[in-house]
A and B are shown apart, each in its own frame.
Chain A
């Protein structure tokens, strides 16, 4: 009986104006208890705050001037106070941080292009029915998803190839992600096969078919996979730590570790300009913000596609 009563009351409430776009509560569902509702909102609010507050505090501190840092007793700030861009100017005007930023951008762009080209080519080969050699290679690909070689053997291979302390060591070992290739292959297989056959009869080479037909039809999956590769390259720390020895070749991840995580002092040699340096903390936070911003820039785009990408992989894999 109570259920029925509540359902009727609930029915009235969900027709309130102003909630038109929201999902309607089904007629059989009880009206949620206000206390439960409040508890849910508070929990979610706390979860969201735990994500946002650190970003806020970091950005505010990166913009603080000497006076504001002194007022805070040398610690992080929560409220803007005496805004200045000096920290950004210092770390971006030449020196190890600027260099690392350029290196990271170059590796991300070049690495992503190479990864996409190699993955698309491989996926296309494996997607063509009856192509020579595609069965064993597919097995190799699936094996690579299940087993990953250990740290030491991979290091030895990179060493034997003479890639230690080279930019190639940041790209080649991670250039092919088996999971991404599998997602692309699944996508290529979904494309209408008659298109390939008619193009083939018209005398098109596999290369023409790939560039003129397959790739234009696969923009969505190229975007998803490309973004995943790009985020991977931008964030890569492990390989840089293992393989890069010269400071001049550091990508952002190593700069972050040295100056932000390990808090090594940023001196005049590390940043451009000979004038008085801004305080350390805002410079550290500026480096952190610079490392986060590219992720934030692609995030809206990533978000539109990634859930789909993850689920394609899960279903078809």
Chain B
């Protein structure tokens, strides 16, 4: 062991800085989660704060209205986003894939991928400028003597807005993985089907979509594992005009209640529960996928 250590010492010197950062900022915080069982006071630190057992977890049972509002909003958004956001990249990929011209396809792809690389601050700013009260859309409507629309700042439209932003930012990017899968579908299957009289629609339903099923289930499982995380940056930026009732989700509640409001212990407890639920959801979904004979994320 000592000989191996001395043999590899330069190698260790190269690798250790990265390893230390990884441990310090990924694993040390996991230990910091113990404050979920403390009445944590910043001026006392973890060492001197009082241990309170599972008291911090009482938000789960005592009907903390803010927490449950955030929970309901999170689940609603996840449901809407899974139903609406998920199929858009697939549809776009099928459209792009059916185009004959390679150059046109590449040009379209470069435009559609671009929003993925913009930060949420930029995307939110762009949406405000387009759809806000003095935005491009309303300026256009006023000029043409049409009634204006109030989209930004209407609580009822908040989830629609969030969903539209997610589609705008990532639908194009999401096509990459579908396009890669589509390019692997055996051309001969299409040919054989066509000769047997299957038209384009039949081929789509009976060859293309079934061949994407494994990938689709994989993505769905990953999405499910993340179902309690819905866009912290995106939402925290837009809570002002619509209020917390419509816009609070779990992650923003953790921030607003824990860091801004000083409810450290309770927030850490909620964060811990959230992480555990996420892992359980992935494992559960994966079991389900196996039960239906699919590969899932990992194998048994």
CA distance A156 to B46 in the complex (A): 9
Which of B32, B96, B139, B168 touches A50 (beta carbons < 8 Å)?
Answer: B168
A229 on interface, CB distance cutoff 8 Å: no
Interface residues on A, range: 35 or more
| Residue from A28, A61, A242 in contact with B195 in the complex, judged by beta carbons closer than 8 Å | A28
| B210 vs chain A, min Cβ distance (A) | 19
Question: Any chain B CB within 8 A of the CB of A273?
Answer: no
A30 proximal to B (CB < 8 A):
yes
A48 touches B130 (CB 8 A): no
Stretch of A83-91, A124-132, A218-226 contacting B (4+ beta carbons < 8 Å) = A124-132
Chain B's nearest CB lies how many Å from the CB of A86? 19
Q: Please judge, given known A-B contacts A295-B118, A307-B176, whether A152 and B14 are in contact too, CB under 8 Å.
A: no
* 178-220 of chain B: CB within 8 A of chain A: 180, 187, 190-191, 194-195, 197, 199-200
Q: Which residues of B contact A206 (CB under 8 A)?
A: 8, 10-11, 14
Write the nearest CB–CB distance from B53 to chain A, whole angstroms. 18
| A113 interface residue (CB < 8 Å to B) | no
Complex CA distance for A54 and B12, rounded to whole angstroms: 49
The contact string, 1 if C-beta is below 8 Å from chain B, for chain A 143-170, is 1101111111111110111000000000
Q: B134, B138, B274: which has the most chain A beta carbons within 10 Å?
A: B134
Please state if B5 and A132 are interface contacts (CB–CB under 8 Å). Answer: yes
Q: Binary interface profile of B, 90-112, with partner A (CB < 8 Å = 1, else 0)?
A: 00100110111111000010111
* B21 on the A face (CB < 8 A): yes
User: Which of the residues A118, A237, A261 comes within 8 Å of B17, measured between beta carbons?
Assistant: A118
Known pairs A75-B135, A131-B11; A178 contacts B22 (CB<8 A): yes
CA A210 to CA B25, docked complex, whole Å = 26
Min distance, Cβ A211 to any Cβ of chain B, angstroms: 10
Q: How far is the CA of A60 from the CA of B191 in the complex (A)?
A: 50
B45 proximal to A (CB < 8 A): yes
- 25 inter-chain pairs at a CB distance below 8 angstroms, sorted by A residue, are A28-B190, A29-B194, A44-B99, A51-B111, A52-B111, A122-B18, A125-B14, A125-B19, A132-B5, A143-B27, A150-B29, A150-B254, A150-B274, A150-B275, A152-B268, A154-B29, A156-B29, A181-B18, A235-B117, A235-B122, A261-B121, A261-B128, A295-B118, A299-B110, A310-B176
Contact A122 B15 (CB under 8 A): yes
Contact present for A151 and B271 (CB under 8 Å): yes
Would you call A121 and B29 a contact (CB within 8 A)? Answer: no
Q: How far is the CA of A15 from the CA of B15 in the complex (A)?
A: 58
The answer for the CA separation of A7 and B114 in the assembled complex, in Å, is 37
Question: Does B24 reach chain A (CB closer than 8 Å)?
Answer: yes
Shortest Cβ distance from residue A163 to the other chain B in the assembled complex, whole angstroms? 10
Instruction: Report the Cα distance A72→B12, complex, angstroms.
Output: 63
The verdict on B119 contacting chain A, using a C-beta distance below 8 Å, is yes
B259 within 8 A of A: yes
Cβ of A186 under 8 Å from chain B: no
Contact B26 A149 (CB under 8 A): yes
In the complex, besides A25-B100, A153-B29, 10 extra interface pairs with C-beta distance below 8 angstroms are A28-B190, A30-B199, A48-B108, A58-B129, A78-B136, A150-B268, A152-B267, A207-B10, A207-B13, A231-B117
